[in-house]
Amino acid sequence: MPLMKRTWLTFSFKKNKIRSFRVCTIPVSKSLLFLFLKYSKMKKAILFSTVLASIGFMYSNLSAQQVNEDFKKLDWLEGTWIRTNVKPGRTAHEKWEKISFSEWRGCGVNMKGNDTVFVERLKLIIKDDNIYYVADIVENNEPVYFKLTSITDKSFVCENPQHDFPKMIRYQKDGNRINASISGNGRSIDYLFEKE
């Protein structure tokens, strides 16, 4: 870093007369003006960063608040729902229970006579300021997450375009009934439920 020299005169007085003076020169690395500008720019950068962080924090709070409001819209899901469009000799149902302000747990069961044919563990959860429908079945190595893309007071849609099938899950409440469907790749399966 190049050094610059600063020079000034010093005077000493005795009885209002100049007694002596001398010239002082010292090396300095930067001028005071440069340092002021440097710190001024730094202050602006810190202020700008603080403003951006505050905006991000406010947005995430608004986003989290909206997600919490949307999650409350799922309260109609609670209870046991009997599937009405099953094959003869079979029964099926889904049961949903609100575990906390950020989690619903469900279970889908299909039976043939007294034998359990299919069990699906389900969840609706808040994660990373989003709502996910999580399906966990034996055929999959791990649970599959479907992100909520649409919600009203009586319906919701969740999607996972990367999943083989389904890619979309829909639930629509109609009185004491639910019309649900799974779809993707040109296929669709309807599930009609009635509240127990």
Task: Please provide the size of the chain in residues.
Answer: 196
The set of residues, in sequence order, having a beta carbon less than 8 Å from that of 18 and lying 6+ positions away, is: 11, 12
DSSP string for 158-178: EE-TTSSS-SEEEEEEETTEE
The region of weakest confidence among 32-46, 57-71, 153-167 is: 32-46
Per-residue pLDDT tens digits for 92-104: 999 999 999 999 9
Given a cut of 90, is residue 2 above it in pLDDT?
no
Could you give the angle at the alpha carbon of 40 between the alpha carbons of 39 and 42, nearest 5°?
A: 60
Domain boundaries, the chain: 74-195
Q: To the nearest whole number, what is the mean pLDDT of the chain?
A: 84
Mean pLDDT of 31-47: 60
Mean pLDDT of 27-49: 59
pTM over 0.85: no
Per-residue pLDDT tens digits for 74-92: 999 999 999 999 999 999 9
Residue recorded with tokens 């609670």: 78
pLDDT value at position 20? 56
Mean pLDDT of 127-132: 95
Give the rounded distance of the alpha carbon of 153 from its chain centre.
21
Q: Which of the listed CATH numbers 2.60.120.260, 3.30.360.10, 2.40.128.20, 2.70.98.40 matches domain 74-195? A: 2.40.128.20
Find out whether the peptide bond into 166 is cis, omega within 30 degrees of 0: yes
Given a cut of 70, is residue 59 above it in pLDDT?
no
Higher pLDDT, residue 16 or 143: 143
